[in-house]
Amino acid sequence: MELLSLFFTSFIVGFSGAMMPGPLLAVDIAETPAKGFRTGPILTGGHAIAEVVVVVLLSIGLAALVAENKTISNVIAVVGGAMLIFMGIGMLYDLVKSRIKASEGAAKGKKSGRLVLDGIVTSLSNPYWFVWWATTGSAFLIKSLKHGAAGPTVFYFGHILSDLVWYSFVSFLIWKGRKLLAGTGYKVLIGICALFLLYLGGVFIHDGLSGAV
């Protein structure tokens, strides 16, 4: 597989993970009306930090370790689920306490550093993100390793570009329609995203405890 082909293939396949509904998408949707179009790129920056660590670890054998020991993925699911529930409760608490300004233009949103952290946390707290990397992602990494260090590097940048394009696109659409989300609409959106995080957290914990990951 030539490096250019690897780049474009990883870019296209990357959408199989990026476009799946998950905690990162929920945070992107919830924060964009306040933070603006740059929410997507900033969150992707945090996501990229988490992914570069996973790419390095998978390149040195983490995929085989996870495949042999289901306990690792189950623990990740339980801990990650608890983290998502914590984030969801935090969003609902801020909503009830009126810490989230609902009027258009009044909300400042989270600081960029906090959004980067959210990008890292929501990635690491999603066990199915690890599953994607341990299966589809690792399969591509194995192919890319024949090119030496350049292979995983090209694969990584092709993959992260798909995340950047998708989450930026979502932020753009929401930012363009922000007038429709002002006031009660924004509160409802935040509430739905918070409940979605609580739901995902419960699913992750259930899957981890039942060994279904």
Q: Does the pLDDT of residue 101 top 60, yes or no? A: no
Domain that holds residue 109: 3-15+22-210
Q: By percentage, how much of the chain surpasses pLDDT 90?
A: 16
| DSSP assignments along the chain, one per residue | --HHHHHHHHHHHHHHHHTS--HHHHHHHHHHHHH-TTHHHHHHHHHHHHHHHHHHHHHTTHHHHHHH-HHHHHHHHHHHHHHHHHHHHHHHHHHHTT-S--STTT-----HHHHHHHHHHHHHT-HHHHHHIIIIIHHHHHHHGGGTTHHHHHHHHHHHHHHHHHHHHHHHHHHHTGGGGTTHHHHHHHHHHHHHHHHHHHHHHHHHHHT--
Check whether 103 has a pLDDT greater than 50: no
Provide the number of structural domains found in the chain: 1
State yes or no: pLDDT of 30 exceeds 70: yes
pTM score above 0.85 = no
Average pLDDT, the chain: 80
In this predicted model, what pLDDT tens digit does every residue of 154-200 receive, in sequence order? 989 999 999 999 999 989 988 887 666 556 766 777 788 788 888 88
**pLDDT the model gives residue 160:** 94
